[in-house]
């Protein structure tokens, strides 16, 4: 089945003088991704916003330092005029800006790359209007029919990562344009492996044959051409200690690692029971992601960036694991769904794979997945959406080999918010998927 990627293009659009409530972050999940309208809105934008009113991606390229997107936005909203102006001069339809919190997401959610800078479009700033007391966006004014060209810079994608998403905005006050399946030509460097030497087969004894002498030449032995051996890869020694985050005692853990652009694990190592120490040799110039898991502990993941490492360098990476206990409630921080739907997106896999590793390491562990939404929107639809989304998470775990009898589900909708006041950015903590440990 082809994976579907989705992207928040790093922009926000607000109508001049007022905010439109498209509620792009409604529903349940650690973060609703991408443009997740609140249930009750029917997934439809507010008046004045057209689905085709999104930027065109002109080019995407990866340089030595950045991932660069060149885009064009055309304002297609209906023209607006100042009714008090006798010359009926056009006034801005809205404003656009880039949110500096935007970032690229790749490798099924295992790698994130931060926004760096922009050209041709301002970085989003907000201030309070002294007359109305409302928060307003300070950006570039947009006029109907006008074109706006701009360039966005993000951290450089790891080599080999060619499909990516972009998450930018989680606000009920601004439009967040979304696109699907962004691609850039960014091939991985070839990895040179040292082949295991194969012992030569013993040759059968044969009677030596005397070669005829060549006329006018001195006889001699013929040498077979020598093949230059492939260079051995430069390895970086990575070592550290795995310990209990609370009592600092050593932990026996499995550290499974893979290339950032790969979907398959490369290898794994064990930490010693007596010391918690581990060591592995990884190829220089590559970027790895890993999951550290141990019986009785939450799994942890991270990144080992050896893209700029030098030969002979040693890297220390200590790992602290949090112990599990019955009754613990843990939030899945990076779980993403399609807009107003229960379709689980591939950017969620890294977070869910941590839970898979925990349940494999703890074969008696039983959990309850709990879904929550924000307090805005239709109560009944919020409740149903939260139920559907935790079932989607349950389905993913089952596909990874976890018995369905070990995974209960419940959706609470908007009945258990963490915050009941504040901005949408502050209330985003309400929109979450959690799991509670029932048996361990």
Residues of the chain with pLDDT below 50 are: 1-52, 193-199, 218-219
SS3 117: strand
Q: What is the pLDDT of residue 436?
A: 97
Tokens of 159: 């080599």
3-state helix, strand, coil in the chain (%, to 5): 10, 35, 55
Separation between Cα atoms, residue 53 and residue 50, nearest integer Å: 5
- Distance, first Cα to last Cα, the chain: 34
Which helix H or strand E contains 319, and what residues bound it?
A: strand 319-321
Q: pLDDT value at position 312?
A: 75
Common-topology check for domains 235-321 and 329-439: no
Contacts of 106 (CB under 8 A, 6+ apart): 112, 113, 157, 158, 161, 163, 164, 165, 260
Q: Please provide the CATH number assigned to the domain covering 329-439.
A: 3.30.1330.60
* Domain range list for the chain: 6-183, 235-321, 329-439
DSSP labels, 70-112: EEEEE--SPPEE-TT-TT--EE--EEEEB-TT-EEEEGGGTEE
User: Domain 235-321 - what CATH class?
Assistant: mainly beta
What angle separates helix 379-399 from helix 349-361, to the nearest 10 degrees? 60
pTM value is 0.73
CB 73 within 8 Å of CB 120: no
């Amino acid at each position: 089945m082809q994976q579907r990627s989705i992207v928040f293009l790093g922009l926000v659009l607000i109508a001049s003088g007022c905010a439109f409530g498209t509620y792009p972050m409604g529903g349940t999940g650690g973060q609703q991704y991408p443009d997740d309208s609140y249930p009750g809105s029917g997934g439809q934008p507010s008046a004045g916003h057209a689905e085709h009113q999104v930027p065109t991606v002109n080019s995407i390229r990866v340089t030595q330092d950045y991932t660069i997107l060149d885009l064009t936005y055309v304002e297609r909203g209906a023209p607006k005029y100042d009714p008090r102006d006798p010359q009926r001069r056009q006034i801005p339809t809205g404003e656009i800006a880039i949110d500096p919190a935007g970032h690229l997401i790749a490798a099924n959610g295992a790698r994130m790359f931060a926004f760096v800078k922009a050209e041709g479009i301002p970085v989003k700033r907000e201030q309070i209007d002294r007359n109305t007391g409302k928060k307003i966006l300070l950006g570039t004014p947009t006029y109907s029919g006008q074109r706006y060209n701009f360039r966005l810079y993000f951290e450089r994608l790891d080599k080999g990562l060619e499909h990516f998403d972009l998450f930018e905005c989680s606000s009920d006050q601004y439009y967040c344009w979304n696109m699907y399946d962004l691609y850039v030509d960014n091939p991985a460097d070839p990895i040179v492996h040292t082949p295991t030497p194969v012992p030569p087969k013993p040759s059968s004894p044969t009677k030596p044959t005397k070669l005829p002498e060549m006329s006018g030449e001195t006889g001699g032995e013929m040498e077979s051409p020598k093949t230059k051996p492939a260079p051995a890869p430069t390895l970086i020694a990575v070592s550290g200690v795995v310990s209990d985050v609370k009592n600092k005692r050593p932990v026996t853990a499995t550290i499974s690692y893979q290339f950032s652009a790969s979907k398959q694990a490369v290898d794994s190592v064990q930490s010693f029971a007596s010391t918690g120490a581990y060591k592995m040799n990884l190829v220089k110039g590559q970027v790895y992601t890993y999951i550290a898991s141990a019986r009785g502990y939450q799994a942890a993941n991270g990144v080992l960036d050896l893209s700029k490492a030098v030969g002979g360098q040693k890297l220390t990476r200590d790992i602290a694991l949090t112990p599990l206990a019955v009754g613990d409630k843990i939030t899945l921080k990076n779980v993403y769904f399609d807009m107003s739907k229960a379709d689980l997106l591939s950017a969620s896999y890294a977070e869910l794979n941590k839970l898979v590793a925990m349940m494999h390491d703890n074969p008696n562990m039983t959990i309850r997945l709990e879904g929550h939404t924000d307090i805005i929107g239709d109560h009944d639809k919020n409740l149903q959406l939260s139920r559907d989304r935790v079932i989607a998470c349950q389905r993913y775990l089952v596909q990874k080999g976890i018995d369905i009898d070990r995974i209960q589900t419940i959706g609470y909708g908007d009945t258990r918010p963490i915050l009941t006041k504040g901005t949408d950015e502050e209330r985003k903590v309400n929109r979450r998927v959690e799991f509670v440990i029932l048996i361990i």
